Amino acid sequence: MKKIISFIFLFVFSNIIAQQRPKLVVGIVVDQMKMEYLYRFQSDFSDNGFKRLMNDGFTFYNMQYNYMPTYTAPGHTSIYTGTTPAMHGIVGNEWFSRKEGKEVYCTDDTSVQTLGDGTKEEGAMSPKNEQTTTITDELRLSTNFRGKVIGISMKDRASILPAGHFANWAFWYSKKGNFISSTFYGDKLPDWVNDFNAKKGYMDYINKGWNLLKPASTYDESLPDDNPYEGKLYKVDKPVFPYDLKAMYDKNDASILRAVPFGNNYLADFAKVAIEKESLGKDDITDFLAISFSSTDYVGHILGPRSMELQDTYLRLDLTIADLLNYLDKNIGKGNYLLFLTADHAGAENAQFLKANKYNVTNLDGKELTKNLEKFSTDTFGENLVLHYDSFNLFFDKTKIKTKNLDLTKVKRAFKDFLMTQDYVKRVYTEEEILANTGADYHLNCIAKGYDVTQNGDMIVLDKPGYIEYGPTGTSHGTTYSYDTNVPLLFYGWKIPKGESHDRKVITEIAPTLSQKLKITIPNGSESQVLTEILDN
C-alpha cells in the first residue's frame, strides 16, 4: 500500500513540475501584418485559424512598435529581446557603416560558411551583430542547454535573429529552393533537412500556379484586379490572376516562391518536419520553435495592401495556421504548447492611392532626395558634404567638413533649415537632440529608441504622415506612424486565458512576459515591462 501511495505521489508531483512550463513554445511572426487585416478579412477567414486564436486565446488589439525604424530585422529582434534597436544594435535590415565606408547587412558574417545547397553569400550569416540576449537564449541557458531552439523562415534574418546566439539551428530558404544554414550552428546539415530538400517539394506549389482561393466576389474588401497601385510580380505582363508560377520559375529561380502565398505553405511543411525529426515538445524540457512567415511581406511590397493578391495571401495563411494548430494538437497535445502570433511591423497605404482619393501626399524617390541634398550642399558650401542618405538617416562627410574648416554644428543647422522647407518633412532631429531626448516628444522618443550612436546617421528625417519613400506601386514601412506600428498580438494555448485588451501595449513587452510565464531569466537588455493580462493563469 505504501508503495502504491508513493508511486501516486511521485506521479502527481512530476506532473505538477511538468506543468510549470509548456512542452513547446511556438513563436509566429507574420511579416508586414497590420492589425487592420484581422478586421478587414475576418468574414472570409475559416473558424480554425486566426479566429480560433482570437476566440480561444487572448488578443491584444492595440500592440504598438515603440521605435523607428519599423523594419524586418529590428522588428524580429525587438520581439525576441524585449528591447529596441538603441540597445540590441539591429538598427535596420542593413545600415551604412562609417568604419567600412559601405552598407552592411544585419546578419552578415564572413567567418562562417554556407551549409547546404546555396550560394556562398546566402549562408555566410550569424547573429553576431545582435548585442543582447533573446528569450530563446534565456530558455537555452535556463534549461542548461537541454531545451532545443530552432528558427525557420524564408528570410535569413527572420530565422537567425529570433533564434538567438545559442540556438541549435536556424534555417532559411535559398534561391535554389533549399533550406540552408551556416557553420555557426554546426558542421553539416541534419540528415532530415537534406531529405526534405531532396524531395523538391516547392515544385509542387510552383507547378499548381496561383489562382484565387475563393470566388472573385469574395474579394470585395480589395481593389479590382490590375489596379494602378499594384506592381508586377516578377515582371509579368499584367498583375492579374491566374499567375503562371512555372513560367516565372523558368525565367528566374526558386526564390519566386517567397513572393507568393505558397512560400508560407512550404515553410509550414518544413516546420512540421522539424517538430517531428528534432522531437520538439516530446519531453518535459521546454523547446522553442520560432517561425516567421515572409510571403506576406513580399506580396505587400510588390502588390500593395489593397490588392486581391494580398487578401488571397491572408486567406491562405489562415488555412495554413489552422493546419499547423491541428498538427500541434495531434503531435504535442492540446494544453501542452504555448503559441503567440505577432508581426515585425505593419505597412503604409500606397501613397498614390491616397493621393487619388484627395489626400495630399505622394511617394518619394530616395535617389532624388539624395540628389536634392547634394545639390543644396554644393550650392551652400561649395562641395558635397553628404556621405550617405538612406532609411531616414543622413550621414555627413566629416573629413571634408574638417578639411574645409567648417563648423559641424552650423552645417547641421543649415541642412535642418533646408529640409524643413520640403513639403514632405515633418521633423528633423540631430544626433545631439536624439541623445538628449526626454521622452516628451513622442516621435523623438521613438527615434531615440531606434538610434545607436555608433551605427546611425548624424541626422534623422521624419516624413509627414502618409508620405512614403518608395516607388509608386506596392507599399513599404519604417515610420513612427500607427499604420507602420500597430500589429496584432495573439496568445494561445498553455495557461492562456480567453480575453482581449484594447489598452496600448508595446512590442518589447512580449519577451519579458514569456520569461515570467516560463519562469526563466528575462533577456538582458529588456526594460522588463510585462503583459499582466496573461500572467494571472
Cis ω on the peptide bond leading into residue 472 (within 30° of 0)? no
| Cα atoms in the 13 Å half-sphere on the side-chain side of 194 | 6
| Cα–Cα distance measured from residue 482 to residue 34, given in angstroms and rounded to the nearest whole number | 10
Provide the 8-state DSSP code for 468: B
User: Which pairing describes strands 337-342 and 24-30: parallel, antiparallel, or unpaired?
Assistant: parallel
- Asked if residue 86 lies in contact with residue 449, where contact means CB atoms within 8 angstroms, the answer is yes
Strands (E), 39-164: 58-64, 94-97, 102-105, 114-115, 149-153
- Residue 312 C-alpha cell reads as 488571397
CA 99, 103, 106, 109 dihedral sign is negative
User: Which pairing describes strands 102-105 and 486-493: parallel, antiparallel, or unpaired?
Assistant: unpaired
136 is catalytic: no
| Cα–Cα distance measured from residue 499 to residue 536, given in angstroms and rounded to the nearest whole number | 12
Neighbours of 216 (CB within 10 A): 11
- Residue 242 C-alpha cell reads as 491566374
| Cα–Cα distance measured from residue 93 to residue 368, given in angstroms and rounded to the nearest whole number | 22
- Nearest Cα neighbor of 531 from 521, 518, 511, 520 is 511
Q: Under 8 Å CB-to-CB from 428, ≥6 apart: which residues? A: 415, 416, 419, 420, 459, 460, 461, 462
Candidates 59, 70, 72, 133; catalytic one: 72
What values do phi and psi take at 510, rounded to 5?
-65, -55
| Cα–Cα distance measured from residue 166 to residue 231, given in angstroms and rounded to the nearest whole number | 40
Residue 108: strand pairing partners: 125
- Asked if residue 112 lies in contact with residue 184, where contact means CB atoms within 8 angstroms, the answer is yes
Q: Is 434 helix (H, G, I), strand (E, B) or coil?
A: helix
Q: 72-104 b/e with 16+ CB inside 10 Å = b?
A: bbbbbbbbbbbbbbbbbbbbbbbbbeeeeeeee
- Asked if residue 32 lies in contact with residue 296, where contact means CB atoms within 8 angstroms, the answer is yes
Residue positions annotated with a catalytic role? 72
